[in-house]
Structure formats: C-alpha cells, structure tokens
Amino acid sequence: MGRLIFVLLDGLNAKTARSCMSFLNALDDAAQISHVTLTSFLPPLSRPLYACLLSGLTPANSGIVRNEDTQLCPAPTFFHQARKVGLTTAAAAYYWFSELCNLSPFNPPRDRLTVNTSLPIAHGLFYSDDAYPDAELFRDAEALRHRVSPDLLLVHSMGIDWAGHCHGGTSVPYTQAVRHADSLLARYLPLWLKEGYSLLITSDHGMDANGNHYDDAPDVRQVPLWQAGPVWKTLPQPASQADIADLVCMALGIPLINQPHDI
C-alpha cells in the first residue's frame, strides 16, 4: 500500500500557477513531476468542489451546489475508503472538510482538534478563519504527520483564495500568495517524497480579476494538478476533477469508491 499527501491550494488558477510557481515548474521541466490542467465543474465554488474531489460526485450529482449546503457528503469519500481498510487518516484543513466527511455542523470545541478513529478523518486540525496563514497550516500538517504518521494526509491552505478575494486574481498580493505556497512546497515536498509519500497537488477553482470565482471563465475554471512520486508511474492522469477521488484510492492501493468490492 502507498502513502499519500494531498495538497489542496484553494483558489489557485492555472495561469498564475504557470507563471509564478517556479519550484513546481522546475520539477516539471526536469520530468520529476507530472502536470495537467483540469477544468473545474460548475458552479466553481469551494464546498461543491471539495465534495467532488473527495468523492468523485460532481456538484450537480452530489446536490452540494452552494457553500451554504452544510450536509455531509452524500457518497463515501476517499477518507471513508481509507478508514474502512484501517489506514491512518489526517487533515490540516478548513472546517468544511470536517463537515463534509466527519460531523456537521462544525462545533469548534469538539471538532477543531479531532482525534477519533471512528471518523473518516480520524486526526484533524480544522481552521475556520479564511485568513489562516499558509505557513501555519503547513506546520499543522507537519505536526499531524509527526504525531500519527498518517497513510493519507490532506494539507489544505486558504492563503491564495483569501488574497484573491481581498485584492483580485491579477493583483500583486494574489501572485505573492501563489509564490509563497510554491516556496512552502519547495520546503516540504522533497522531505515528504523522501519519507515515502506520493504527492497530489491541485486546487478546487481559480480566481478572476475581480476577486470572484463563480463564472464560466478560464481564470475561474482552469486549475493545475501535479503528481509526484513513483506510484503515479503506473496510474493514469485524471481527465477531470471527478477522477481524482478514485485516483487517490488507487495510489493508496485500497478499494475504489465506485467499485467498493474491487481491490
């Protein structure tokens, strides 16, 4: 079985990733990482697309079509699949992941620090401030990794999305936030690969110049995806965001969400 770290950089559009993520682009140039551009599903909103990335259900099929739709994901997620076979799961992520996978509504005293092996995300550090600094979030993820040595770890940062909403997707603060995320990956990705993890790095949606992500437009819908680590050599690149959840299961060597009896 493989071990995987899923890095979700919220609100990162493909165009800015191409121009500003020099570390990841260097690995791409050196053929040490594979890269593909995906088109996010409509509506290109965070919670509907989190549900899609977790379960493979498009927003139209999950019924989670607004950020205000706080129900649990209606299908099993890759965290459910991992727990079913006894893998250790962890996430440093925005609290909507706790609501989609574990318990909803989010109850901060109970859920911010989650240690509960009966839940799909057994070990969680869930933040609820959109301005939560990315550097702290990566430290949270590392703290979880050191404490529980997870087989599956979600690292979900909000700094790029926050800068885009405040200043617009073509602003200096947005591009700086993208560079900052790239520099954090330059620090952690080599370590994680050395520790035996495979990496999948992507975004939920992009950002337009006005600081929105709702429209059917390239800056909003085109998102990057990178795969690093030997496990991907024998696995396909995803053709859409709906392929990612089962791809995570394949990388972990566990039953797919859509073929629960197949391993």
Residues interacting with Zn ion, by CB under 5 A? 10, 46, 161, 204
Residue with tokens 């909803």: 104
User: What minimum distance in Å lies between the beta carbon of 31 and Zn ion?
Assistant: 30
User: What minimum distance in Å lies between the beta carbon of 191 and Zn ion?
Assistant: 26
Rounded distance between C-alpha atoms, residue 6 and residue 203, angstroms: 10
User: What minimum distance in Å lies between the beta carbon of 202 and Zn ion?
Assistant: 12
Contact 245, 56 (CB under 8 A): yes
Single out the residue of 209, 198, 155 nearest to residue 13, CA to CA: 209
User: What minimum distance in Å lies between the beta carbon of 258 and Zn ion?
Assistant: 25
Task: State how far Cα 234 lies from the chain centre.
Answer: 22
Name the residue nearer to Zn ion (CB basis): 138 or 197. 138
Rounded distance between C-alpha atoms, residue 226 and residue 25, angstroms: 10
Name the residue nearer to Zn ion (CB basis): 220 or 252. 220
Name the residue nearer to Zn ion (CB basis): 140 or 204. 204
What one-character DSSP code corresponds to residue 143?
H
Name the residue nearer to Zn ion (CB basis): 16 or 46. 46
Rounded distance between C-alpha atoms, residue 249 and residue 257, angstroms: 8
